[in-house]
A and B are shown apart, each in its own frame.
Chain A
């Protein structure tokens, strides 16, 4: 097991390094002219040259790349000041450290993704299992139909509808906002409940369908039939035998979906005007703030790789066959 985890972690670091290299060369070596973007609107040739010097853009590309990569591990000194350990550079636009900006915004995105995942896993898998258990009945048809329709809704359409119904026209709830969990747990929960639920809706619908079909497949397996044949109750077989097996495809898909969950968080943040990582990426792209955009992307890739390793470990834990391969 340990070997398995180590192998996956090393692989993840190699991938991360490659992503870092790809982004770096695309961003810095692209003809977008890094320096003139850093320089801002009214830029004198002298200032441009200064910036080139300060950012080390006159150095060979390989040297620049090495500085960037080692900066992430050890920190880096800019003429404007020191940038400590995970140094992703300084934003052109605000002049802040990219890493600290990301850290400021990350709790919100984490709340959205983690909260959303809990909501859609519990409701989605639950509904899917019930639908499979009562296959062919009205319950099943309602669950399948509803999940089909709901999975066609987009966050940017569903969000304003929910806001109109719950906030603007009735005033039952307040406008969504983010309060740190450590400061005010109740406010955090209430403020984020609408965005989390809206984001989870589409995923819930997809996971309901997946859990249902996966469960139905499991129920047709030989070992389940044998268990039933030797007289175990349907419920017991369902909960003890089929349940665990049906989780395997779900965990696989969950690992793949982390990236789209991050995407979902971006849309949710934009829909509800929340200030998270996604908003940061969009701001970076719109303002052509390259260090910020690069930092957010690397961080996003890192986040996804971490989750993927966790998924793989869960996967190996559920299905012993994986560990041995």
Chain B
């Protein structure tokens, strides 16, 4: 955790470390204090699992970002029905039962991860586009959850008393909702705020509805965490000192408290993001999130469960990709936590 001295000179200390001045020899430079951020970075770099996982996770985001380009390389797209479209009749991908020809769900030079049974859509294209949908939506929702949680937690923790009591009760109330059931149930209600229930819902309204639902029922963990951290900081001497010297509440929150809650927030972020991704996948899997033909990670699993008996290989690539992703994210979260707080240990 950041010590008060570091916060006061936050910007300055980095400059001192980074530019030791021409006249100082190497000896004093080595002794120069490192900012907590640098210490954390050093500890993190030593953790090989953490670094590998960070690379993998970043890799996923890059792949998702470049999805259109990478899919173009394979010469496919996620919407064409290669099994039904007469343009592709000379290159059959499905047999007469609608199952992929060839091994492992029809893996071939044209269709790198095979094709979907029945329709013959390209799985590689669907997976990459699906990852793009899921990852970037999850990123947006997680940031929103974080900001809301931090704000509410800060207000509750800093002002305390009656404000804190009512915010706490509100948080408890939101926590007592059966989350996943409510995700499902609120989707049509939230959608109905934007579109007439009689009409077809456009995809971006579905995305917006998902965002609202996940956001509304997702901020509580963050708020509680920030509140408890702030509560313990509020009584610390450096905050008292700032108060005595006449700093405004806003200044105290911004300069004294926020820098100290960055650590738990970052750790929580690395746990929140994969869980948001899984929630989006859950909604689409249940059939209330994205629907045909929007490519989405969760929808691939719904299709996979449908085809499990005839074509179990369909599930292979999306599933393995998801397992590796979640595993790496969890390991990364542990590494980040260890790097910030070496005491916690494993």
Interface residues, chain A, with chain B CB atoms under 8 Å away = 15, 18-19, 23, 26-27, 30-33, 36-37, 148-149, 151-154, 156-157, 159-161, 163-164, 168-169, 213, 259-260, 262-263, 266-267, 270-271, 277-278, 281-282, 284-286, 288, 293-294, 296-297, 300-301, 303-305, 308
Decide: B177 and A19 in contact? CB cutoff 8 A.
yes
Determine if B286 and A154 form an interchain contact, defined as CB atoms under 8 angstroms apart: no
Chain B window 286-307, contacts with chain A (Cβ cutoff 8 Å), 1 for yes, 0 for no = 1110000000000001101100
Question: Would A157 and B301 count as touching, CB distance under 8 A?
Answer: yes
Q: Is B124 an interface residue (CB 8 A)?
A: no
Instruction: Select A152's contact among B176, B305, B323, beta carbons within 8 Å.
Output: B323
Contact at A284–B185, with CB atoms within 8 Å? yes
Q: Which residues on the A side are within 8 Å of B278 (C-beta)?
A: 154
* B181 and chain A: residue at smallest CB distance: A300
Secondary structure class of chain A's binding surface, majority of residues: helix
Are B189 and A160 in contact, CB atoms less than 8 angstroms apart?
A: no
Say whether B200 faces chain A, with CB atoms less than 8 Å apart.
no
> Is B180 touching A259 in the complex (CB atoms < 8 A)?
yes
User: B23 at the A/B interface (Cβ < 8 Å)?
Assistant: no
Query: Do A152 and B327 touch (CB < 8 A)?
Result: yes
Please tell me if the beta carbons of B319 and A281 are within 8 angstroms of each other in the complex. Answer: no
- Interface residue tally for chain B (C-beta within 8 Å): 44
Q: Is the CB of A30 within 8 A of B189?
A: yes
B341 to chain A, nearest CB (A): 14
List residues of B (145-183) whose CB comes within 8 Å of A's CBs: 172-173, 176-182
Residues in A with CB closer than 8 Å to B327 are: 148-149, 152
Contacting residues, chain A, for B322 (C-beta < 8 A): 154, 157
A267 CA / B304 CA spacing, docked (Å) = 14
Other-chain residue from B193, B286, B315, B331 in contact with A30 (beta carbon distance below 8 A): B193
Closest CB pairs A-B (n = 3): A263-B180, A32-B192, A160-B308
Is B281 close to A, CB under 8 A? yes
Contact in complex: B176, A19 (CB < 8 Å) = yes
A305 close to B176 (CB less than 8 A): yes
Residues A161 and B315 in contact, CB atoms below 8 Å apart: yes
When distances are taken between beta carbons in the complex, the residues of chain B under 8 Å from A303 are 178
B184 and A285 within 8 A (CB) = yes
Tell me which of B177, B193, B315 contacts A301 (CB under 8 A). B177
Q: Say whether A267 contacts B312, CB under 8 Å.
A: no
Out of B180, B189, B197, B323, name the residue touching A262 (CB < 8 Å).
B180
Closest to A269 in B: B286
Q: Fill in one digit per residue for B312-343: 1 if any A CB lies within 8 Å of its CB, else 0.
A: 10010011001110110011000000000000
A sample of 15 more A-B contacts (CB under 8 A), given A19-B173, A160-B312, A285-B187, is A19-B177, A31-B192, A36-B198, A148-B327, A149-B323, A156-B304, A157-B318, A157-B323, A160-B305, A164-B309, A260-B179, A282-B184, A285-B188, A301-B177, A301-B178
B186 within 8 A of A: yes
Write the nearest CB–CB distance from B18 to chain A, whole angstroms: 37
Instruction: Please indicate the chain A residues that have their CB under 8 angstroms from the CB of B198 in the complex.
Output: 36
B129 interfacial by beta-carbon distance below 8 Å: no
Chain A residues with CB under 8 Å of B219's CB are none
Sample 7 A-B pairs with CB under 8 A, ordered by A number. A153-B323, A213-B346, A259-B180, A267-B180, A267-B282, A271-B305, A303-B178
Nearest CB on B from A291, distance (A): 12
In-complex Cβ contact of B287 among A169, A262, A282 (8 A): A282
Q: Are A297 and B301 in contact (CB under 8 A)?
A: no
Per the bound structure, the CA–CA distance linking A157 and B312 in Å amounts to 10
- Please indicate the chain A residues that have their CB under 8 angstroms from the CB of B184 in the complex: 266, 281-282, 285
